[in-house]
Structure 1
Amino acid sequence: MAAYVIVDSEIKNLDGMKEYIEKVGATLGAHGGQPIVAGTNIEKVEGDWNPSRIVIVAFPSMDAAKAWYNSPAYQEILPIRTANTDDKVILVEGL
């Protein structure tokens, strides 16, 4: 069953994120990750959620999503993201 990494991202330092943006794609392939959404054109229709940027990455399974997140390759660049953004990240199983 597919799984998704959903990120509500507020970039605080775009220059600081350049290295992460350049490297993150290479960490996805070994786990079957495919970015499907990365955008700022967001229209709120309900609730108090006001994200400035949403990123969604599809994986073939929850195990694959967790394996990617916990992989040495991703963990190596994760501090770059956390130092330069205020993010909320969830993993969710699809249908």
Structure 2
Amino acid sequence: MAVFYVNSYNITNQEEYAKYGPPTVALLHKYGAEVLAADLEAIGVEGVPLKMNAIIKFPSEAAALQCYSDPEYQPLKAIRWGSTSNCSMILVHGLDA
């Protein structure tokens, strides 16, 4: 069953954060992930949106958690942690069709 990471955070250091995206996308592909949405200008329908919002689809929970724990992701995660604030990363299970 597919799962989705729903990520939201504010970018506090754009120059440092620019080092995060390209290598992270390459790593996502290694685990069969697909970025379904990524937006720096999300529209707040309810509440206050954070600067970066993304939805990433993985083929399984195992793939999503393996990607998050992958040794290649650890230095990238450190870049994200050091260049963002108010991070929320939630793993949501898809519905069976």
Give TM-score scaled by structure 2 length: 0.87
Q: Which runs of 5+ in 2 are unaligned?
A: none
Q: Which runs of 4+ in 1 moved over 4 A?
A: none
**How many residue pairs are counted as aligned between the two chains?**
94
3-state secondary structure, aligned to 2:38: strand
Give TM-score scaled by structure 1 length: 0.89
Q: Which runs of 5+ in 1 are unaligned?
A: none
Identity %: 31
**Offset of residue 49 of structure 1:** 4.3
**Offset of residue 26 of structure 1:** 1.4
Alignment RMSD: 1.3
> Is contact 2:43-2:49 (8 Å) kept?
no
**Offset of residue 29 of structure 1:** 1.5
Question: In structure 1, what residue type is equivalent to 2:33?
Answer: G
Counterpart Cα distance in 2 of 1:23 and 1:77: 8
Please identify which structure carries the higher helix content. 1
Counterpart Cα distance in 1 of 2:42 and 2:34: 20
Q: Which digits, 9 at most, give the CA deviation of each residue in 1:39-89, with x for residues without a partner?
A: 13322333x343222111100011111111111111121100000001211
